[in-house]
Amino acid sequence: MDGIGNPTVISLQIGDLAPNFQARTTQGNLSLSDFRGRWLVLFSHPADFTPVCTSEFIALARSKERFDALDCALMAISVDSLFSHYGWIKAIRDNIGVEINFPIVEDPSQVIGRAYGMITERSQDASAMRSSYFIDPNGIIRAITCYPATIGRSVEEMLRIVAALKRVDKGEAVTPEGWMPGEAILLPPPVDPASFEKSVSDPLWFYRLRDDSK
């Protein structure tokens, strides 16, 4: 592995540089750094040929064009071998009619999973892995979600997180609960004395909604 560092790292935090790695995938040898310049969702799954993971992969493959529209790539990872990945995506294609159109990384040594905190020193096995890392074009981790092996992620929420991060990066906005693109945004709170003095004349200075549909 390239740039991983200590494989016993328990977790990464929002704002950390995502550890680089190079590994075999279902779309050839790839490095995390290959995705610099665009958004990336790196997500782990406990195991191939499992029901919850299959449902997630079908939904993600069907939504790939929506991620593409956000200039966001997808990359999956599990401890299964590359040959297991090939067999699983073939079974999905042949029996369900869905082509898995994003790379799946093999991590049989668990080096990547442990470096990212997908598997910790306290994990009894690799089934603890159902984590998602939302990585910006500069390679910085901007959001992290983690689910137990028994509960599938929401693809709609994954898309919403990417869209919200991109909107916040445009400036002059934070996003309210459940925000979707085109809905009203919130103005950031005042952070300097002059801005605060100017804002407090508004009784709702702490909750300033603005139209963002244009």
Least confident segment among 18-22, 67-71, 148-152: 148-152
121-147 CB burial, b ≥16 within 10 A, e <16: eebeebbbbbbbbbbbeebebbbbbeb
Check pLDDT > 70 for residue 193: no
| 2: its two tokens | 């390239």
- Give pLDDT tens digits for 16-35: 999 999 999 999 999 999 99
Walk me through the domains of the chain, giving residue ranges and CATH numbers: 22-153 (3.40.30.10), 171-214 (no CATH)
Q: What is the mean pLDDT of the chain?
A: 89
Check pLDDT > 70 for residue 200: no
Dihedral of the CA atoms 69, 90, 114, 150 (nearest 10)? 90
Check pLDDT > 90 for residue 64: yes
Marked catalytic residue, from 12, 40, 42, 53: 53
Of 187, 23, 209, 10, which is closest to residue 105 (Cα–Cα)? 23
Of 46, 198, 202, which is closest to residue 127 (Cα–Cα)? 46
Residue 193, classed as helix, strand or coil, is helix
Residue 201 confidence class, pLDDT cut points 50, 70, 90: confident
Asked if residue 13 lies in contact with residue 141, where contact means CB atoms within 8 angstroms, the answer is: yes
pLDDT at 122: 56
Is 146 noted as a catalytic residue in this protein?
no
Predicted TM-score of the model (pTM): 0.90
pLDDT at 6: 46
| 37: its two tokens | 């310049």
